Amino acid sequence: NAGVTQTPKFQVLKTGQSMTLQCAQDMNHEYMSWYRQDPGMGLRLIHYSVGAGITDQGEVPNGYNVSRSTTEDFPLRLLSAAPSQTSVYFCASSYSMGLGTDTQYFGPGTRLTVL
Amino acid sequence: GNSVTQMEGPVTLSEEAFLTINCTYTATGYPSLFWYVQYPGEGLQLLLKATKADDKGSNKGFEATYRKETTSFHLEKGSVQVSDSAVYFCALGSTGANNLFFGTGTRLTVIP
């Protein structure tokens, strides 16, 4: 199993550009999520999905869109990049018992810089 | 609401020293508590977890006990190694969902 994979590993954008961060998992996990990691702030939840066709907002959703058309994939779209979106982005997945006890499996991250 | 307060770093220790990283939480309901570790250049991986009060999570010589009375989940290791150098995150899992609330992370450097 590859686990959780993310592409690209690094990306530089100009303000106003759009792009999609890719995330895929091969563990048949129902739950997938996106976090951003900023210095001194830990990880903050952007969006999450409890299954194909179902998505919801996390703590910091503004400026990001998601969709979940398959169990395996959960892309994150930046609609119009801003310097404040410079961050490291992590995708995670887990089984979804809905009890808050499940182990999350994280991808290796995408480092995004917006100029 | 849910939140996690974690000891700020960085922490620098000599090999074989005792490690404690403090973590306290605020939560509604009965959360699960986690420690995740991030090695340089990698994503986070689960180190240990505890799902109810008085549970002790342990892995790779690390331990943490879920203390409801003090709302704490402090991470400890009796003898650290250079390979333990990483960033450690305390996290809370809310009841009824898989979303995690993270602390700010503590960078540990172990020197030979």
The whole-number pLDDT of residue A40 equals: 82
Interface of A with B (CB under 8 A): 4, 31, 33, 35, 40-45, 48, 50, 58, 90, 92, 94, 96, 98-109
Cβ-based neighbour number of residue B24 at 10 Å: 17
Q: A44 to chain B nearest CA, in Å? A: 7
Answer whether residue B22 shows pLDDT above 80: yes
Cβ neighbours of residue A12 closer than 8 Å, sequence gap 6 or more: A112, A113, A114, A115
3-state DSSP assignment of residue B84 = helix
| Neighboring chain B residues of A98 at a CB cutoff of 8 Å | 96-98
CA–CA gap between residue B76 and residue B52 (Å, rounded): 18
Answer whether residue A97 shows pLDDT above 70: no
pLDDT, average across residues A88-103:
82
Answer whether residue A92 shows pLDDT above 70: yes
* pLDDT interval class at B102 (50, 70, 90): very high
- Tell me the residue type at B88: Y
The whole-number pLDDT of residue A24 equals: 97
Query: Given B31, B98, B104, which is nearest A41 (Cβ)?
Result: B104
Answer whether residue A100 shows pLDDT above 70: no
CA–CA gap between residue B60 and residue A104 (Å, rounded): 18
pLDDT, average across residues B14-34:
93
The whole-number pLDDT of residue B7 equals: 85
Answer whether residue B30 shows pLDDT above 90: no
Mean per-residue pLDDT over chain B, rounded: 93
- Tell me the residue type at A66: V
The whole-number pLDDT of residue A7 equals: 96
Mutate to test the interface with A, among B6, B98, B100, B101 (most CBs of A within 10 A): B98
The whole-number pLDDT of residue B28 equals: 81
The whole-number pLDDT of residue A108 equals: 93
Q: Are B15 and B64 in contact (CB under 8 A)?
A: no
pLDDT, average across residues A70-83:
96
pLDDT, average across residues A91-101:
78
pLDDT tens string A23-67: 999 999 999 999 999 988 889 999 999 899 999 999 999 999 999
Torsion of CA A82, A84, A86, A89, to 10 degrees: -100
Cα Dmax for chain A: 41
Question: Which DSSP string do the residues of B48-69 spell out, in sequence order?
Answer: EEE-STT-EEEETTEEEE-BTT
Mean per-residue pLDDT over chain A, rounded: 93
